[in-house]
A and B are shown apart, each in its own frame.
Chain A
Amino acid sequence: KNEVEQSPQNLTAQEGEFITINCSYSVGISALHWLQQHPGGGIVSLFMLSSGKKKHGRLIATINIQEKHSSLHITASHPRDSAVYICAVRSGTDKLIFGTGTRLQVFP
């Protein structure tokens, strides 16, 4: 079993829909990251959080430390949100352990 599990693996949505991506982890962590990667592209850090909730524009990330679970929400989704979203946890010597990613496609 992977230490970081994401769901769903693939997600399609119509423009304007509310999107949720889930992440569960089984190790002790110092922080959790949500990352975005476009095809063939680099990696952009969206959030780093260790408790509660953070919001940036149309993106919201929450974490429940007791349940070892985090969610990434996208409100009013747009085709430019199409990308792979990756959950990663900081553990051990501060290295990142990654989930397998969620491939999101938003259609106009």
Chain B
Amino acid sequence: NAGVMQNPRHLVRRRGQEARLRCSPMKGHSHVYWYRQLPEEGLKFMVYLQKENIIDESGMPKERFSAEFPKEGPSILRIQQVVRGDSAAYFCASSPKSGTITYEQYFGPGTRLTVT
């Protein structure tokens, strides 16, 4: 059973370009979480998605950021018109959560975005 996959692992974008980060959850997992780690800072929650549904986007910046998790295919975190302050490591995690049981979250290797 492959772990959580993220691609690309490293992404370089010029200011104003778009960045698309992909996350394929572990097999059988229907819940995806995105977290951001700014340089020299701690991890922060961004968004929590279930297939075709956003559960909690309270950590997403109001503009330029969007996320989706379609019925088929990976979850996508999209950043439009990137700025230098978007440079960070973006991690996704997945879980099989159902009902009231709290399941482990399994992390991907992260995508390191550099905006030049």
Cβ–Cβ contact B48 & A42, under 8 A: no
Cβ contacts under 8 Å, B106 to chain A: 45
B44 — nearest CB in chain A belongs to which residue? A98
Cβ contacts under 8 Å, A93 to chain B: 48, 55-56
Cβ–Cβ contact A42 & B108, under 8 A: yes
Cβ contacts under 8 Å, B107 to chain A: 35, 42-45
Chief secondary structure at chain B's binding surface: strand
Cβ–Cβ contact A101 & B56, under 8 A: no
Number of interchain pairs (Cβ within 8 Å): 57
Distance A76 CA – B56 CA, assembled complex (angstroms): 41
> Among A44, A48, A96, which residue has its beta carbon within 8 angstroms of that of B35?
A96
Cβ contacts under 8 Å, B105 to chain A: 33, 45, 96
Cβ–Cβ contact B102 & A86, under 8 A: no
Chief secondary structure at chain A's binding surface: strand
Cβ contacts under 8 Å, A99 to chain B: 42
Cβ–Cβ contact A90 & B102, under 8 A: yes
10 A-B pairs (CB sep. < 8 Å): A45-B104, A45-B105, A86-B43, A88-B43, A93-B48, A94-B56, A95-B45, A95-B56, A98-B35, A98-B44
Closest 7 CB pairs of A and B: A93-B56, A43-B107, A42-B109, A98-B43, A95-B45, A100-B42, A30-B102
6 more A-B residue pairs beyond the given contacts A50-B102, A94-B31, with a C-beta to C-beta distance below 8 A? A42-B110, A43-B43, A93-B55, A94-B97, A96-B45, A98-B43
B-side residues, CB < 8 A to A, are: 31, 33, 35, 41-45, 48, 55-56, 58-59, 91, 93, 95, 97, 102, 104-110
